[in-house]
A and B are shown apart, each in its own frame.
Chain A
Amino acid sequence: MISIWFFIGISLAVNGALICGAGIYQVINPPVNPNVVLFNLHANVWWGAVLLVIGLFYCAKFAPRRQA
């Protein structure tokens, strides 16, 4: 049976990749009027990267083949 932690890994990895990607796009193409406070910290880049790393770790550790 596939572990619940594997599903969580998929969720975090996909969300992390999307968020990080959106953040990098904004770094390359900065909006004229960023409508968030502390835009200069580019939170979506590093927070997305953190989620991606945690997600990939969970995916690797709890991948179905390793459970067998």
Chain B
Amino acid sequence: MMPALAMYVATQLVHLSAVDVVIIAFYFGLVLAIGFYLRGRANTGEDFFMAGREMTAWVAGLSFLSANLGALELMGWAGSAYQYGILATHWYWIGAIPAMLFLALVMMPFYYISKTHSVPGYLKLRFGEPSRALSAVSFAFMTVLMSGVNMFAMAKVMQIVLGWDINFSIWVSSLTVAIYVTLGGLRSAIFNEVLQFFLIWAGALLIPILGLYEAGGWTNLKLQIAARSSEQYVHLWSGLGSFTSNPMGIHWTGIVFGLGSVISMGYWTTDFLVVQRILAAKDIRSAEMAPIIGAGFKMLVPIIVILPGLLGLAVLPMKLVPESIAAATGAHSYNDVLPLMLARYCGPGLLGLGITALIAGFMSGMAGNVSAFTTVWTYDIYRPLINSKGTDHHYVNMGRWTTVIGVLISVGTAYLVMQFASIMDYVQALFSFFIAPLFGTVILGMLWKRATGAGGFWGLLCGTLSSIGMWAWVKLDPTALRYVALSPHAKALAQDMYQALWSFIVCVIVTVVVSMATKPVPASELTGLVYGETKIPSIGDVPLYQKPLFWASVVVVVFFVLNIIFW
């Protein structure tokens, strides 16, 4: 252990060697070097906030995927795989792939043609200022709070895994992110997300390879899991016929209609954090191909996330327990499964790379949050509501300052969470309130000409309030779960599915009713914004293998084959 770090170390899950520390230090040096290199290429608003709209399909696609591939995602879903078995894969397949393809083929043309800077920006064009203000303020506020919550959670993980002091983790990571995003803007964030993508695969792929070798292959792994837990831990769909026949306590309707049709659609098509990466694509074909490339790789992510969790069930000598029991007994929790597997197989060097992958995942997630916050604040709040007469240079400076302030608010939130742990649950719940109704508003705006400004605004507001209402109802009276999630046995994830589904339905009903009661928007004002009033631009005369529709079809076929194989 290097002396400089030794002072921060108390007790830890894994021990780093000198070469591990060099690998981690090299990562920090590289991301800062990228930030300084890109400093001169972020002088205009388009450069700083939209990366010059010159990203290729591959860069935009991998960045789009990486924005969702943070360290907490990796560790949390590996823990969920240990807890719920292969069912956790639904969040990577049906909970992502259809939505990504829908974004690529149906929604992307409208985002792209409208040349909007953000999702709230599209709402302004389609429904007017009130909808944008509601969406922008809620997004900006929640994004920066979520960033702080994730910062604290990651610092806590670093304390548990490596023994690092929480203050050290928070300040080193946040200052690094602040420097490289302030210097290079969105382009810098995207570059580091693509770098993170490679580091995660390089650092995590050995775990399933060596794990399957130790377990004796997939067939033997299934037998061992069935012997230790239940056969249902290795089936995706066969146990979803009733709420009680699977480890998650969920019915297939919750997975298909809640997760696959609402939550994932909301997240992957309207969460500006991920959509911003696609808006930076250089042309319409790249913008359509990027989510398809992301979908192709998303289908592979369970190899490095779900499989380690399943392998943990079979090969780890100890039994992992829920977080609450772990805190009381000192045992390892479900969420420790990935670091435990990392420590099990990875010697000097490999361990450093694995830890670097986790740090990179966390930092690029934070950079994504901060860059999205900066864009929404500058373009959707500051410019329309506070100062509409600034120069482009003024808004770029505002973006740089907002980046620093966003990081500082995140740090402040992290310290607030440190004092009041329950804030973390509230912030995570709050964030989910906006996703499903926002999807309802955006999709009706894109596909239904009759939707009006008032309909869009009231639908979004009522959908969001209904989601908050259901959450508060269950919080105050846990027996209400039988109504919200259709079963008293439903677990937290199942509740989220149904809560999203109902709030989406409320949003759609209110939007339709209010729209029908208000004056239609003239067709001339809907050009470029709504299906039926927009000429979708051609992607050009390209060969079959360059057509987005062809690759989307390939992804669909693979998606069905995988679901059948693991049925």
B128 within 8 A of A: no
We find that the number of chain A residues with CB closer than 8 angstroms to chain B is 29
How far is B190's CA from A8's CA once the two chains are assembled, in angstroms? Answer: 13
Q: Does B34 contact A (CB under 8 A)?
A: yes
Question: Residue B37 at the A interface, CB < 8 A?
Answer: yes
Q: From DSSP, what is the main secondary structure of chain A's interface residues?
A: helix
CA distance A51 to B345 in the complex (A): 17
Contact string, A15-45, partner B, CB cutoff 8 A, digits 1/0? 1001111110010000000111111010110
Question: How many angstroms between the C-alpha atoms of A42 and B71 in the bound complex?
Answer: 26
Once A4-B59, A7-B30 are accepted as A-B contacts, the answer to whether A43 and B198 lie under 8 Å apart by CB is no
For the complex, count residues of B whose C-beta is within 8 A of A.
34
The answer to whether A1 has its CB under 8 Å from any CB of chain B is yes
- The distance from the CB of A29 to the nearest CB of chain B, in whole angstroms, is 11
Taking A11-B198, A15-B26, A18-B19 as contacts, is the C-beta distance between A47 and B350 under 8 angstroms? yes
In the assembled complex, the Cα of A19 lies from the Cα of B354 at a distance in Å of 11
- For the residues of B in contact with A, the DSSP-based class is helix
| CB-contacts of B188-218 with A (<8 A) | 190-191, 194-195, 198-199, 202, 206, 210, 213-214
Chain B neighbourhood of A48, CB < 8 A: 349-350
A68 to B30, CA, bound (A): 23
B348 interfacial by beta-carbon distance below 8 Å: yes
CB contacts (< 8 Å) of A14 on chain B: these are 26
In the assembled complex, the CB of A57 is this many whole angstroms from the nearest CB of chain B, namely: 13
Cα(A10)–Cα(B202), bound, Å: 13
Contacts across chains A and B counted by CB atoms under 8 Å: 91
B26 and A4 within 8 A (CB): no
CB–CB B30/A39 < 8 A: no
- Return the contact of B347 from the options A1, A11, A12, A23 (Cβ within 8 A): A23
Partner among B190, B344, B347, B353 whose Cβ is within 8 Å of the Cβ of A26: B347
Q: Assuming the A-B contacts A1-B41, A18-B19, A44-B347, are A7 and B34 also in contact, with contact meaning beta carbons closer than 8 angstroms in the complex?
A: yes
Separation in Å of the B85 CB from the closest CB of chain A? 23
Q: Max chain A CB contacts within 10 Å: which of B191, B198, B343, B345?
A: B198
Residue contact A44 to B348, C-beta cutoff 8 Å: yes
**Which B residues form the contact surface with A (CB < 8 A)?**
17, 19, 22-23, 26-27, 30, 34, 37, 41, 59, 190-191, 194-195, 198-199, 202, 206, 210, 213-214, 315, 343-350, 352-353, 356
For this complex, 12 residue pairs linking A to B, each with C-beta atoms less than 8 Å apart, are A1-B41, A4-B194, A10-B30, A18-B23, A19-B349, A19-B352, A35-B347, A36-B347, A41-B213, A43-B206, A44-B348, A44-B350
| A-B pairs, 3 with minimum CB distance | A19-B349, A22-B349, A22-B348
Assuming A11-B199, A15-B23, what are 17 further A-B pairs, CB within 8 angstroms?
Answer: A1-B41, A4-B190, A7-B30, A7-B34, A7-B195, A11-B26, A15-B202, A18-B19, A18-B23, A18-B349, A19-B352, A19-B353, A22-B348, A26-B348, A36-B344, A44-B350, A47-B350
